[in-house]
Amino acid sequence: MEVKSTHFFHALALFFILNLIGTGFMWATSNLQPRDILEQRPEPVEFDTSLIEPYQANEDYNYFNINEQKSFLAKIQRWLDLQWNKFLDWLLSGISERSFWNYLALTLKILLIIGLGVLIVWLFNKYYVVNQKSPPADQSEINLSEDELLIQQKDLSTLIEEAESEGNYRLASRYLFLSILKHLKDYNFIEYQFQKTNTDYKSEITQQAIKSDFTYVSKFYEFVWYGDFKLEVADFKSAKSRFEHLISNIQNSKVHG
C-alpha cells in the first residue's frame, strides 16, 4: 500500500506542475501586444534603382510589349544579315592573332572566292547568254536580222554568183533559199514575215507542185545551213538546179497577179 501511495503522489505532483506551466504560457500570450510583434521585424533594405536601369532600357528584358509579326522581307533581310556575319566570321577568323598562317589562310580564302566567282560567270555566259551554237565563219557575213533587207533590196542573183565563185556553197545555198522566199512573196504565194517559220510558209502555199518543191529546198537549206554541213560542189550543183526549177515554176504560175 505504501508503494501505490508513492506513485499516486508522484502523478499528482506532475499534473500540478504541467498545469502551472500551461497557465503561465497562456497568460504570457494574452499579454503580448501587436506593437511588440512589429518591433521584432527587420528594417527594410534600401534598393539601388540604378542597378536595374540598364535592364529596363534593354528590349530583350521587356516582357510586356507584344512583338509585331515581322514581314517576309524583314525575315529574309535578317537571314541575309546572319549569313553575312557568319561569312565574315569565317573569312576573318584568326586575323586578330596576327599570325603568318592566319594571313595565309585569309589569302587562300580570298583566292577561292574569286575563283568561284569567275567560274559562275563563265558558266552563266556559256549556258545562258550564249544559248545557241556559235555561227560558222561564213555565217558572219549575214545574220537573220538582215533577211528582210536582202529579200526586199538586194540583188540576190549577184550575191549567189559571188558566193559560188568563192567556193562558199553554204552561203550560196542560203542566198538561193532567200531568193525562193522573195519570189514566193512577190508572186503572192506567201505573206513574208521575219518571225515566220518555213512550216508557216509551206502551209500558205496552195499549189501542190510548188509546195512539194518548197518542202525539198527548205529541208536542204536547213540541213546545210543550220546543220553546219560541209557542202561539196556536186551536191550544190544538184540542189541549185532544184532551186532554179522552183523559181521557174513560181514565175510561170497563174496564181500571181
How many residues in total does the chain contain?
Answer: 257
Measuring CA to CA, which residue among 183, 170, 180, 166 is closest to residue 142? 170
- The residue range of the domain holding 111 is 72-129
Biggest CA pair distance of the chain = 168
Residue 223 covered by a domain: yes
Query: Are residues 154 and 216 both part of a single domain?
Result: yes
CA distance 243 to 29: 133
CB atoms within 10 A of CB 48: 7
pLDDT digits (tens, 9 = 90+) for 6-39: 655 666 666 666 555 555 555 555 554 555 455 5
Query: Are residues 173 and 109 both part of a single domain?
Result: no
For helices 208-225 and 169-186, angle between their N-to-C axes, nearest 10 degrees: 150
Burial tier of 158 (Cβ tally within 10 Å: 0-12, 13-18, 19+)? exposed
Give the helix/strand (H/E) hosting 88: helix 72-91
pLDDT at 60: 67
pLDDT at 204: 92
Look-up of cell digits 523559181: 247
Residue 182 covered by a domain: yes
Cα atoms in the Cβ-side hemisphere of radius 13 Å centred on 233: 4
Contact between residue 207 and residue 199 where contact means Cβ atoms under 8 Å apart: no
Query: Are residues 169 and 121 both part of a single domain?
Result: no
CA distance 247 to 156: 13
Amino acid at 116: L
Mean pLDDT across the stretch 148-165? 80
Mean pLDDT across the stretch 129-144? 47
Residue 187's CATH number: 1.20.120
Q: Residue 220: CB partners within 8 Å, gap ≥ 6?
A: 173, 239, 242
Measuring CA to CA, which residue among 223, 225, 217, 222 is closest to residue 242? 217
Contact between residue 217 and residue 244 where contact means Cβ atoms under 8 Å apart: no
Statement: residue 135 has pLDDT above 50: no
Highest mean pLDDT among 19-28, 204-213, 245-254: 204-213
Query: Are residues 237 and 202 both part of a single domain?
Result: yes
Look-up of cell digits 507584344: 66
Give the distance, in angstroms, between the CA of residue 163 and the centroid of all CA atoms in the same chain.
47
pLDDT at 257: 46
Q: Of 109, 129, 149, which marks where a domain is finished?
A: 129
